[in-house]
Amino acid sequence: MLDFKPIFETHFFSNHHLQAQQAEAMLEAQLPGQECVTFSCFAALITAVADELASKDTPMVCVSSRDQTRQTIRSLNLFLQASGRLPVTLGDSAIDVHSPAQGRPADVLLSSPDGVRAELLDFSGLHPMLGSAGVFVSSNAAWCEKVRWARSSYGRRSTSQVAIGANGRFSEFQAMLMQQVLQQG
Amino acid sequence: MSYFTTMNLPAPAHGKFLDLLKHYEDRPQAAVLDFEAALRRFFDVPAVCTWSNCFTSIALALRHAAAGRAPRVVVAGLAYRRTADIVLWAGLEPVFVDNSAHDLALDLSALRRTLSREPVGCILAQHPMVHLLDIEALCALADEFQVPVVFDSVEATGASYRGHRLGRFGVAEAFSLHPSKVINAAEGGVLTFGDEAQHRRFGKSMSDLGLWDASTGRPSMFQLEPLHAVMGLASVSIYEEVRDRHRSHFERYREGLADSRGLGLVQYDAETDPNYKSVLVQILNPSPAFRSRLMSHLESRRIGARAYYAPLHPLTQSAQLPAARALAEQYMILPIGHSVSLTDIDSICACIADFEQQSESESTGGVHA
């Protein structure tokens, strides 16, 4: 069992500190050429992408084979539509998706007409103590920076602008759990 | 060299957290349920609802309060910097109302004028730092216009109004569990409800939005993390200790700033049983840019003072908010909590005194015949 002692030793519990940075570095090491942005929960990530990146021409499509993820999307779509956002299209999970996430197929795809692409990964429930977490994966640095800016004021790497600043802060506790998931493969 | 921050950063001992973790490692959801029970006792309310963070908590409470009404939320012009974002994230529109110089909260006369002029969905009433807003007066005004009120009580966690702990007022009250506040769950937010009927109505709203599990009577997404519930359980048990530490810090500042002519320490009302989490000072020195020069002086010595909620959100640009704009220049907050000791506070006060002396010398020396 993890004891989370490093968190208490640094006295940093959130705000994109060492553990969150390490989790993202581990993801990026597993996904060469991609930038990875962690988010506090998958629903918050979907909502942020709906606000900042998705459009009729650049829709989000759920291609997940996980029942839990597809159910989350079905339910979340009610909220997205009620709050004036575009819903996520439920796509065919049988589609052979080329994903950069080895052993971790994309759950939601975001594709623009000019070929820019991102994958959204749902880490919810992949560890018994991890309720939810999401990761935005893309080789497009501008898209990734927008998602970082939507997440919080911490962990930004450069400048960007967002339509709606949200809150997707990924805690140091979630980060240590994610690291364990990634180490176990 | 240490950096002194305004973030409270209270935390239980690692051992205390670990004992709880061992207790819940095989039943993580039980941690959330037990933490919610602890929060019901802490806030003395029959119902609470935890979420992944307070931003989401408030947004969903606004969505519920404004359901079936105009999609517009009254907020104070000078407020927590993310307030307008919270309203927008909820799919609603902020309506900015001026602040009161008396308590820094929503100005009730300005609020009356707004409510008389245009339909709104609800009011987001925020307790400012240190002061409590006049809940009875605000609720009476809201009732007169039949407008629901959601309270953002983040800064007043643990305080009481007329003998009742905050948590039972309005449609719901919101509290943060971020480390920068007084109950540290690493991340999280909680909505509290004064009666079961309010909670049931809220659950129905969330169900209509696809965010509620009818079988459990709890959120189905944007949930509080089990590990954060474990941390929260450990933290809520040390609240009195945290408050007492903050009070000792506040009292030390009171002594250290007693002779300051440039800064006036905003006093807590002890009868409200406050958490003493913030050291809020009013700028009394009329010199231009006194606050910004003082903050730069402190920052150069790794003392992280902050302007109080300034600048105003860009969306306020066209709003008539003369008091909010003036107040935005007049206040700042000083370091407190985990990052400082009483000796550090003495040093901070000495640093402020040095700056004031320098400023006065420069000002005297700058007078030309």
| pLDDT tens per residue across span A78-114 | 999 999 999 999 998 755 555 544 556 889 999 999 9
The residue with greater pLDDT, A55 or B1, is A55
DSSP 3-state assignment of A149?
helix
The whole-angstrom distance between B362's CA and the closest CA on chain A is 37
pTM of the entire structure? Answer: 0.96
Q: Report the residue from A8, A79, A84 with minimal CB separation from B211.
A: A79
B231 touches chain A (CB under 8 A): yes
Cα–Cα distance for residue pair B60/B92, rounded to 1 Å: 11
DSSP 3-state assignment of B253?
helix
Q: Report the residue from A3, A43, A78 with minimal CB separation from B222.
A: A43
Check residue A96 and give its pLDDT: 52
Q: What is the mean pLDDT of residues B19-30?
A: 96
Would you say residue A3 has pLDDT above 50?
A: yes
**Directed axis angle between helix B342-365 and helix B290-299, to 10°?**
130
Residues of chain B contacting residue A125, judged by C-beta atoms under 8 Å apart: none
Check residue B369 and give its pLDDT: 41
Are A13 and B209 a contacting pair at CB < 8 A? no
Q: Measuring CA to CA, how many Å separate A31 from each of A61, A138, B188?
A: 21, 10, 30
Check residue A94 and give its pLDDT: 57
Amino acid sitting at position B10: P
Cα–Cα distance for residue pair B139/A150, rounded to 1 Å: 34
DSSP 3-state assignment of B163?
coil
Q: What is the pLDDT of residues B110-141, one digit of tens each?
A: 999 999 999 999 999 999 999 999 999 999 99
Q: Measuring CA to CA, how many Å separate A162 from each of A24, A147, A153, B89, B258?
A: 21, 8, 11, 12, 44
Are B231 and A13 a contacting pair at CB < 8 A? yes
Peptide bond into B311 cis (omega under 30): yes
Check residue B364 and give its pLDDT: 78
Q: What is the mean pLDDT of residues B45-73?
A: 98
Residues of chain A contacting residue B233, judged by C-beta atoms under 8 Å apart: none
Q: Report the residue from A76, A130, A164 with minimal CB separation from B89.
A: A164
Cα–Cα distance for residue pair A113/B32, rounded to 1 Å: 43
Averaged confidence pLDDT in chain B: 96
- How many angstroms separate the most distant Cα atoms in chain A? 48
Would you say residue B161 has pLDDT above 50?
A: yes
B220 touches chain A (CB under 8 A): yes
The whole-angstrom distance between A99's CA and the closest CA on chain B is 26
Q: Which of A38, A78, A167, A172 to mutate to test the interface with B (most CBs of B within 10 A)?
A: A167
Are A174 and B88 a contacting pair at CB < 8 A? no
Amino acid sitting at position B111: L
The set of residues, in sequence order, having a beta carbon less than 8 Å from that of B239 and lying 6+ positions away, is B42, B158, B182, B183
Q: Measuring CA to CA, how many Å separate B123 from each of B115, B150, B203, B270, B271?
A: 10, 6, 20, 27, 26
Check residue A122 and give its pLDDT: 95
DSSP-assigned beta bridge partners for residue B75: B96
CB-CB contact of A45 with A152 (8 Å): no
DSSP structure class, residue B270: G
- How many angstroms separate the most distant Cα atoms in chain B? 81
Q: Which of B165, B246, B64, B212 is CA-nearest to residue A43? A: B212
CB-CB contact of A107 with A61 (8 Å): no
Are B25 and A128 a contacting pair at CB < 8 A? yes
Q: Measuring CA to CA, how many Å separate B311 from each of A162, B4, B74, B222?
A: 18, 22, 19, 30
Check residue B228 and give its pLDDT: 98
Among chain A, residues having any CB pair with chain B shorter than 8 Å are: 1, 3-5, 8, 11, 13-15, 40-44, 47, 51, 72, 74-79, 82-85, 128-132, 164-167, 169, 171-174, 177
Residues of chain A contacting residue B228, judged by C-beta atoms under 8 Å apart: 171, 173
Burial of B33 (0-12, 13-18, 19+ CB in 10 A): middle
Sign for the CA dihedral angle at A155, A181, A130, B211 comes to positive
Number of C-alpha atoms within 13 angstroms, CB side, residue B101?
Answer: 9
Q: What is the pLDDT of residues A117-162, one digit of tens each?
A: 999 999 999 999 999 999 999 999 999 999 999 999 899 999 999 9
CB-CB contact of A168 with A150 (8 Å): yes
ipTM score above 0.90: yes
Cα–Cα distance for residue pair A159/A156, rounded to 1 Å: 8
In terms of CA atoms, which chain A residue is nearest residue B212? A75
In terms of CA atoms, which chain A residue is nearest residue B313? A165
A65 token code pair? 């084979």
Q: Report the residue from A13, A74, A130 with minimal CB separation from B186.
A: A13
Number of C-alpha atoms within 13 angstroms, CB side, residue A185?
Answer: 1
Check residue B43 and give its pLDDT: 98
Q: What is the mean pLDDT of residues B243-269?
A: 97
H helices of chain B, in order, are: 14-24, 28-43, 54-65, 83-89, 108-117, 135-144, 196-208, 226-236, 239-256, 290-299, 322-327, 342-365
**Directed axis angle between helix B14-24 and helix B28-43, to 10°?**
120
Cα–Cα distance for residue pair B335/B241, rounded to 1 Å: 18
Q: What is the mean pLDDT of residues B80-85?
A: 96
Would you say residue A9 has pLDDT above 90?
A: yes
Are A11 and B186 a contacting pair at CB < 8 A? no
The residue with greater pLDDT, B350 or A65, is B350
DSSP 3-state assignment of A109?
strand
The set of residues, in sequence order, having a beta carbon less than 8 Å from that of B300 and lying 6+ positions away, is none
Are B89 and A166 a contacting pair at CB < 8 A? yes
The whole-angstrom distance between B229's CA and the closest CA on chain A is 11
Q: Return the percentage of chain B with pLDDT > 70, whole number.
A: 99
The whole-angstrom distance between A30's CA and the closest CA on chain B is 26
Name residue, tokens 């911490």: A154
Q: What is the pLDDT of residues A11-42, one digit of tens each?
A: 999 999 999 999 999 999 988 899 999 999 99
Sign for the CA dihedral angle at B271, B275, B279, B280 comes to negative
Cα–Cα distance for residue pair B328/A166, rounded to 1 Å: 23
Cα–Cα distance for residue pair A126/A27, rounded to 1 Å: 15
CB-CB contact of A108 with A63 (8 Å): yes
Residues of chain A contacting residue B231, judged by C-beta atoms under 8 Å apart: 13, 173
Are B186 and A14 a contacting pair at CB < 8 A? yes
